[in-house]
Amino acid sequence: MAKRNCAQAGCPALVEAGVRDGRCLDHRRQVDRERGSATARGYGYTHTQLSKRMRAEAIGMTCHFCKEVMVAGQDLALDHTPDRAGYRGVVHLSCNARDGALRGNAQRLR
Ligand SMILES: [Zn+2]
Ligand SMILES: [Zn+2]
């Protein structure tokens, strides 16, 4: 079996060609852990990719909560519809958190 270096940059371990991810056992475990934690927080792979692309496209657009333009380097979030069936657009993470908190308070009052 041909061997090559682990796909993780700087890792000297040799890995059999054709192994999943092309990484050594340690780094495959690490990748799985990172994936697992992302899923545990409620952000699956698809969500992460989608929000990354949408965040990039949102630069220069207006946040519909505070009406201010979103610029590179700001923490942005995808704003879900109240029933979480879709997205209303990209907003500032802080605005989204504030909206979520208000919504949470409203539900608690009921
Ligand atoms: Zn490795
Ligand atoms: Zn905002």
Instruction: Please provide the DSSP assignment of 31-88 as one string.
Output: HHHHHHHHHHTT--HHHHHHHHHHHHHHTTSBPTTT-PBP-TTS-EEEEEPTTSSSEE
Amino acid 14: pLDDT:
92
Q: What is the dihedral of CA 15, 16, 22, 25, to 10 degrees?
A: -50
Q: Which residue, among 88, 58, 86, has the nearest Cα to 74 in the 3D structure?
A: 58
Tell me which architecture the domain covering 46-109 has in CATH.
Answer: 3-Layer(aba) Sandwich (3.40)
Q: Which ligand is closest to the CA of 5, given by its number?
A: 1
Please give the distance, rounded to the nearest whole angstrom, from the Cα atom of residue 7 to the centre of ligand 1.
Answer: 7
Please give the distance, rounded to the nearest whole angstrom, from the Cα atom of residue 26 to the centre of ligand 1.
Answer: 6
Please give the distance, rounded to the nearest whole angstrom, from the Cα atom of residue 60 to the centre of ligand 2.
Answer: 12
Please give the distance, rounded to the nearest whole angstrom, from the Cα atom of residue 35 to the centre of ligand 1.
Answer: 16
Q: 45 is written with which tokens?
A: 């792979």
Share of the chain above pLDDT 70, in %: 78
pLDDT (tens digit, 9 = 90+) per residue, 77-91?
888 887 878 878 888
pLDDT (tens digit, 9 = 90+) per residue, 3-14?
899 998 899 999
Please give the distance, rounded to the nearest whole angstrom, from the Cα atom of residue 44 to the centre of ligand 2.
Answer: 24
User: pTM of the entire structure?
Assistant: 0.48
Q: Which ligand is closest to the CA of 9, given by its number?
A: 1
Please give the distance, rounded to the nearest whole angstrom, from the Cα atom of residue 63 to the centre of ligand 2.
Answer: 5
Amino acid 109: pLDDT:
60
Contacts of 16 (CB under 8 A, 6+ apart): 1, 2, 3
Comma-separated ranges of CATH 3.40.1800 domains in the chain: 46-109
